[in-house]
Amino acid sequence: MVQKEVVYVVSDSVGETAEFVVKAVATQFNGGHVEIRRNSYVDDFEDIEDVMILAKKDHSIIAYTIVVPSLKEYLDRRASEEGIMAVDLLSPLMNAFTTKFNKEPHHQPGLMRKLDEEYFRKIEAIEFAVKYDDGRDPRGITRADIVLIGVSRTSKTPLSMYLAHQRFKVANVPLVPEVQPPDELFQIPRKNCIGLIISPDKLNEIRKERLKALGLASQANYASFERILEELDHAEKIMKRVGCPVINVSNKAIEETAGLILEILKKERSF
């Protein structure tokens, strides 16, 4: 039986990066005969001393990804004193970044994992916004961070997607006189809901353009002033009943409205 060589992977975070690099290198040397022993979340000198004892006993290599300067310097010094080969997998590239871009690294462990977690939260929020768009499933109302309500063409869907990219789970519900709003809308805290209103003239203009884009007559009831006033009156009554903050989106860009929504939520939730 062939004796496996041992490589100690040491990291002040999880250590996945170092292990991946070691495995990639090991494949070039009949990698099946290399045993990787991972030491994660190393955050003090005692942890490093423990690894030194083991690495010296096994006559092994230490491959490390440590970004905290004091720990890195201590590991380098102790490895040199003990005659252990220690390979820094990050510093050469970090030094190149510093030289090329004239910026200093944060020296903070776990930042890549934090970025990964934020990415997956964003994907989850986007999927949520798609699933609970346009009142498709009222269960989303009670699960959402933000619920947007308003008549058709008040930018509920684009706002939902924009806020989802900021990692907020958003559901939106259209308010139509002929359709009773879902009961869930009156069960959530008022601070979770935002009403979107718009001037009749602006809504008339937007709806006419929408009909034109669909190849339909601009005189359709959807764009008539009578219908618009009826819808806006109905929406205002629902918003008053919910007791939610209201934003007029008449002449606002999506980014501006989203900023106002986040300001309102921050203020409402601070009490």
Does the annotation place 152 within a ligand binding site?
Answer: yes
Does the annotation place 151 within a ligand binding site?
Answer: yes
- H helix runs in the chain, sequence order: 16-26, 45-57, 69-82, 91-101, 111-131, 139-143, 156-164, 200-213, 225-242, 254-268
> Which is it for strands 86-88 and 170-174: parallel, antiparallel or unpaired?
unpaired
Sign of CA pseudo-dihedral 212, 148, 145, 179: negative
**Residue 241 neighbours by CB under 8 Å, 6+ apart:** 186
Does the annotation place 155 within a ligand binding site?
Answer: yes
- Widest CA span in the chain: 88
**Residue 53 neighbours by CB under 8 Å, 6+ apart:** none
Residue of 111, 95, 146, 98 whose CA lies nearest to 125: 146
**Residue 91 neighbours by CB under 8 Å, 6+ apart:** 72
Q: Contact, 232 vs 197, CB < 8 A? A: yes
- Tell me how far apart the alpha carbons of residues 231 and 152 are, in angstroms, rounded to a whole number: 9
Backbone torsions φ then ψ of 28, nearest 5 degrees: -80, -5
Does the annotation place 156 within a ligand binding site?
Answer: yes
Does the annotation place 150 within a ligand binding site?
Answer: yes
Does the annotation place 224 within a ligand binding site?
Answer: no
Burial 169-184 (b: 16+ CB within 10 A, else e): bbbbbbbeeeeebbeb
Annotated binding site: 150-157
Annotated binding site for ADP: 150-157
